[in-house]
Amino acid sequence: MDLRERCPVLHFADLGDERGKLVVIEGGEAIPFEIKRVFYIYESDATVVRGQHANRESEFVLINVAGKSKVRITDGTDEVVIELDRPMMGVYIPRMLWKDMYDFSPDSVLLVLASTHYDGSEYIRNYEEYLKEIGK
């Protein structure tokens, strides 16, 4: 399947009104997994590249709730770059894709929803090893 189809950009419902914006994300509904972990990355800047790993088990949704950043996703052959620049949009990243997050604006707060509790052993942090595991 095409990488853009595997990593859909998600648009979340805006329940805002005259009092301000409200975005709701329900696990298993707006995103294709139940949420077990939430973390967020901020005070990274335009010189930093984060991520640089693939996950054997975890699925993620990335959302810039403030500011912007980019995520580059590859399956070892094709590559997509998605700019995250709105609190109402996210990108779904399934298992076993390599990802880099970069170009963080100074006000970037990158929220990550994950399908698993943290387990460092399910991370592949070496690109050659990643290619080997996916048979490329």
Binding residues for ligand TYD (CB under 6 A): 37, 39, 41, 50-51, 53, 118
From CA 43, how far away is CA 11, in angstroms rounded?
A: 25
Q: How far is the CB of 51 from ligand TYD (least distance, A)?
A: 5
Residue where the block lists tokens 């990802």? 99
Of the two residues 14 and 119, which places its CB atom closer to ligand TYD in the complex? 119
Nearest C-alpha neighbor of 64 from the set 108, 11, 10: 108
How many distinct helices (H) and strands (E) make up the chain? 2, 10
Query: Is residue 53 among the annotated active site residues?
Result: yes
Round to whole Å and give the CA distance between 105 and 27. Answer: 28
22 vs 39, beta carbon nearer ligand TYD: 39
Give the integer Cα–Cα distance in Å for 23 and 90. 12
CB of 17 to ligand TYD, least distance (A): 34
Residue 63 · residue 24 · CB < 8 Å: no
The smaller minimum CB distance to ligand TYD, of residues 51 and 90, is found at 51
Residue placing its CB nearer to ligand TYD in the complex, 14 or 43: 43
CB of 116 to ligand TYD, least distance (A): 9
Partners of 51 in beta bridges: 100
From the CB of 39, what's the least distance to ligand TYD, in Å? 5
Q: Which candidate in 53, 68, 70, 95 is catalytic?
A: 53
> Which positions are catalytic?
53
